[in-house]
Amino acid sequence: AQSVTQLDSQVPVFEEAPVELRCNYSSSVSVYLFWYVQYPNQGLQLLLKYLSGSTLVESINGFEAEFNKSQTSFHLRKPSVHISDTAEYFCAVSDRDQGGKLIFGQGTELSVKP
Amino acid sequence: ETGVTQSPTHLIKTRGQQVTLRCSSQSGHNTVSWYQQALGQGPQFIFQYYREEENGRGNFPPRFSGLQFPNYSSELNVNALELDDSALYLCASSLGAGGTDTQYFGPGTRLTVL
């Protein structure tokens, strides 16, 4: 069965520093990958997604993630974080066989300090 | 364009009771998926409805049931509530039921079982 591992449960970082949130998934023939962000007491918002094509995908607020098939990873990066990026980040995967079922990781709490 | 809405926002029940949670999908979306998010965990897939039919189910007992209506809104019903059912229940809608169809989440219903 498909599974997702987010390697860090908490990532503290100072404002304007770079950050990487790590995500690995179990191998499958055809996977689709997503990063969602959850602010306190809110639902999930889509940050970015990989469906096919270019392995590097970007969000409108400066995040990017790279699909690495050989390492079964989809790490999220941002070169310079802001206080407002403080939130919980979830990596999720679906695949061709599971249809619309999203499998989520446990989440990474990003805490940006001034 | 109205996003995904859920009601109620908060709910307190006692063990053994029954509860109904509601979800209105985004305009034009025919698929609704339900997830349970326990405190400190990633969301877990409960089931998905596509054009009023159940289209996949996660590892949840039969006391979790659902409906989708002709306007594509949906209900999640939970019978014989247990303490472990305390969680944030998230609804997501999408244009279709495939793995590439992005799911847009509502704000969630926080259920507390005493």
Question: What pLDDT sits at residue A41?
Answer: 79
Residue A5 region, left (φ>0) first, then alpha (ψ -120 to 50), else beta?
beta
Question: What pLDDT sits at residue B45?
Answer: 96
Most A-contacting residue of B103, B104, B110 (CB-CB within 10 A), to test interface? B103
Give the CB-side neighbour count of residue B84, counting CA atoms within 13 A. 3
User: CB B1: neighbour CB atoms within 10 A?
Assistant: 5
Give SS3 for B26: coil
Q: Report pLDDT digits (tens) over B1-31.
A: 579 999 999 999 999 999 999 999 998 899 9
Q: Is the model's pLDDT at B37 over the cut of 60? A: yes
* A43/B106 Cβ within 8 A: yes
CB contact, 8 Å: A51 with chain B? yes
Question: What pLDDT sits at residue A61?
Answer: 87
Question: What pLDDT sits at residue B1?
Answer: 57
Question: What pLDDT sits at residue B15?
Answer: 97
Q: Report pLDDT digits (tens) over B50-71.
A: 999 999 999 999 999 999 999 9
* Residues from chain A contacting residue B43 (CB–CB below 8 Å): 44, 90, 102, 104
Q: Report pLDDT digits (tens) over B66-108.
A: 999 999 999 999 999 999 999 999 999 999 888 888 899 999 9
CA-based R_g, chain B, Å: 13
CB contact, 8 Å: A34 with chain B? yes
What is the Cα–Cα distance from B106 to A84, expressed in whole angstroms? Answer: 21
Residues B102 and B4 sit within 8 Å (Cβ to Cβ): no
Give SS3 for A85: helix
pLDDT in tens, chain A (114 residues): 789 999 999 999 999 999 999 999 997 678 899 999 999 878 899 999 999 888 899 998 899 999 999 999 999 999 999 999 999 999 999 887 777 899 999 999 999 999
